[in-house]
């Protein structure tokens, strides 16, 4: 005897949740692809990748590169335009990034004396990358 499950009624709530889950997964994968593309851009500029998606107790840093004895912390944002991508950065996120960076440099030989630069790398819908060096000067 074979068993076939009873047909289920259409549940619009489940369909909506599945659609959100699918969009969330697509956004996550697009973000990973953006980070990979930005990492390649920095490598092409001669930077050495130290960490991807470094996670500490205070948060995550997308990319960390060596810049001589210093480090470059890179926040990657992807959206349909550079302006839209930049708009996704909040002051709270910048504070978390600073706290995470402080935690990371604590693991370096120079500790809190390590030179740090914070960049933002934006990617638009055409996979073009715009890098804003020292993006958070004046934020805190």
pLDDT at 140: 54
Domains of the chain (ranges, CATH numbers): 13-132 (3.40.1350.10)
Structure confidence by residue, pLDDT tens digits, 110-121: 888 999 999 999
Encoding tokens for residue 90? 């909040």
- With 0-12 / 13-18 / 19 or more C-beta atoms within 10 angstroms meaning exposed / middle / buried, residue 57 is exposed
Using left for φ > 0, alpha for ψ between -120 and 50, and beta otherwise, residue 44 falls in alpha
pLDDT at 139: 60
pLDDT at 20: 65
Contact 64, 54 (CB under 8 A): yes
Instruction: Show pLDDT as tens, one digit a residue, over the chain (140 residues).
Output: 555 555 555 555 665 665 667 667 777 777 788 999 999 999 999 999 999 999 999 999 999 999 988 999 999 999 999 999 999 999 999 999 999 999 999 988 888 899 999 999 999 999 999 999 999 886 65
Question: What are the residue ranges of helices labelled H in 5-137?
Answer: 12-44, 82-87, 91-105
């Amino acid at each position: 005897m074979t068993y076939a499950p009873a047909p289920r009624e259409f549940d619009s709530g489940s369909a909506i949740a599945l659609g959100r889950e699918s969009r969330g997964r697509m956004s996550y994968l697009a973000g990973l692809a953006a980070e990979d593309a930005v990492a390649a851009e920095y490598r092409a500029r001669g930077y050495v990748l130290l960490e991807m998606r470094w996670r500490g107790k205070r948060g995550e840093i997308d990319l960390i590169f060596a810049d001589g004895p210093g480090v470059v912390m890179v926040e990657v944002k992807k959206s349909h335009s550079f302006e839209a991508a930049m708009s996704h950065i909040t002051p709270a996120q910048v504070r978390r990034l600073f706290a995470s960076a402080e935690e990371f440099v604590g693991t370096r030989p120079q500790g809190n004396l390590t030179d740090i630069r914070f960049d933002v790398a934006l990617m638009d819908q055409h996979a073009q990358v715009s890098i804003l060096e020292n993006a958070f000067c004046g934020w805190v």
